[in-house]
A = this chain, B = another copy of it.
Amino acid sequence: MQMNVSTRALHAFVTLAEQRSFTRAAALCHLSQPAFSALIRTLEDDLGARLFDRTTRSVELTAEGRVFVESARRLLRDVDDALADLRDHAARRRGRVAIAVLPSLAAGWLPPLLADFHARYPGIELDVADVLSDDCIARVRSGRADFALASTRTEAPELRTESFCSDGFHVVFRRDHPLARQRGALTLARLAPHPIVQLARSSSVRQYVEAAIYPSQLHTVLELEQLSTVAGMVRAGLGLTVVPSLTLFHFDHPDLATRALHVPELKRQVFLVRRNDRALSSAAQALYEVVMAHRPHPTARKR
């Protein structure tokens, strides 16, 4: 049973039922009285039921009208609720946004940003996947994440990849390490003699470093999964390590010293990846804007 009903007609109907006067109801609906009368008559014709008993002196609901006015009121309320819900989402008062972020960014750079975001949009739920770069991309591609910060550039037609920031590398070692006494710019060659604690090969950080010094190799003494564990190992004196500058907060400890690596080709590029064929939801757009506002500047290094 296909048929058309508009909220305007329902609202007119309910108003007339309440006012029991075409003149007053028409005024409330901002219509001339004859136009209002026609609207009601059309509604009655469409519904196939007389809704009002009209005499020139009184307007009263019929039995069918009394049945329908309850439905109409509920329908109008439901429509309002649905529209309010939609508007809440559009206005960023409600919603959900899922992102995927490299662990190296998720641990240090992200938390204050999310605190800021949540303070500004308390109704928006957040879902952060702190996963490795390939997984970040996969989540965007499958729609599980609205956008991602990853370090591998993927050329795919359905993905839009834009440069987000670039990150230099730092060397971290114990203050009693021989490098602490060395002056001048640090190069990869100067690191070669020293034992190095590194991340696992699956990490993009490790891949960057290996690519930069290829074909020569560093003297890897230990491979780990987590940067915080790396920090502990370096503090224990097992060796030095090379990490992106944005992750230095892991190594903020009185026993440790850090120095920038002056190797131009050794720069970690971080990309913001999102789907090309989908607009960001309002919630995602809000987070996107905050992310962009907190975008790390190359010159602004911690410590």
Contacts and interface: CB of A to CB of B under 8 A. Distances in A.
Interface of A: 1-8, 11, 47-50, 53, 55, 58, 60, 62-64, 67-68, 71-72, 74-75, 78-87, 89-90, 95, 146, 277-279, 281-284
A83 B53 contact: no
Contact of A278 (B5, B53, B80, B284): B53
A209 B47 CA distance: 51
A3 B67 CA distance: 24
B60 A277 contact: yes
Contact of A63 (B4, B8, B95): B95
A53 B85 contact: no
A48 B4 contact: no
B64 A86 contact: yes
A239 to B, nearest CB: 47
Contacts of A85: 67-68, 71
A11 to B, nearest CB: 8
Given A4-B6, A50-B279, A78-B78, A86 B71 contact: yes
Contacts of A60: 277-278
Contacts of A58: 277
A21 to B, nearest CB: 15
A83 B3 contact: yes
Contacts of A63: 89, 95, 146, 281-284
Contact of A279 (B8, B53, B71, B87): B53
Contacts of A279: 50, 53, 62
Contact of A75 (B6, B49, B78, B284): B78
